[in-house]
Amino acid sequence: AVIQHSEPINLQINGAPAVRYTVTASNLLQEYDCDPPAASIDIVAMQGFSNATIAVFMVLAEQQTDRSISRGTIDDIIASLCRTPGD
């Protein structure tokens, strides 16, 4: 397998600092016909709430299959992250 990762991307989620990384894997071992030949995982870490210092969100997506979602859809999922108002 070939693993690559992006440089960190700094962003804001409702005014809170966050960081995003994208990791891609290609030439994956396909043990079964349904195994994808490639995949990506987008990881976003941000300031947590209450007792959690950090909150981490991940989007895992198959690549190069008919089940793949687009980078644009992954970006939309990341863009939908928001902090909920406290009590």
pLDDT of residue 87: 46
Give the residue-averaged pLDDT of 17-33. 95
Asked if the model's pLDDT at residue 52 lies above 80, the reply is no
pLDDT of residue 69: 95
Q: How far is 58 from 2, CA to CA, in rounded Å?
A: 20
Average pLDDT of the chain, as a whole number: 92
More confident call, 37 vs 53: 37
For 14-69, where are the E strands, in sequence order? 16-26, 38-47, 54-63
C-alpha triplet 56, 25, 69: angle, nearest 5°? 70
Asked if the model's pLDDT at residue 56 lies above 70, the reply is yes
Tokens representing 4 are 């690559």
**If pLDDT is split at 50, 70 and 90, which confidence band does 16 have?**
confident
Q: pTM of the full predicted structure?
A: 0.85
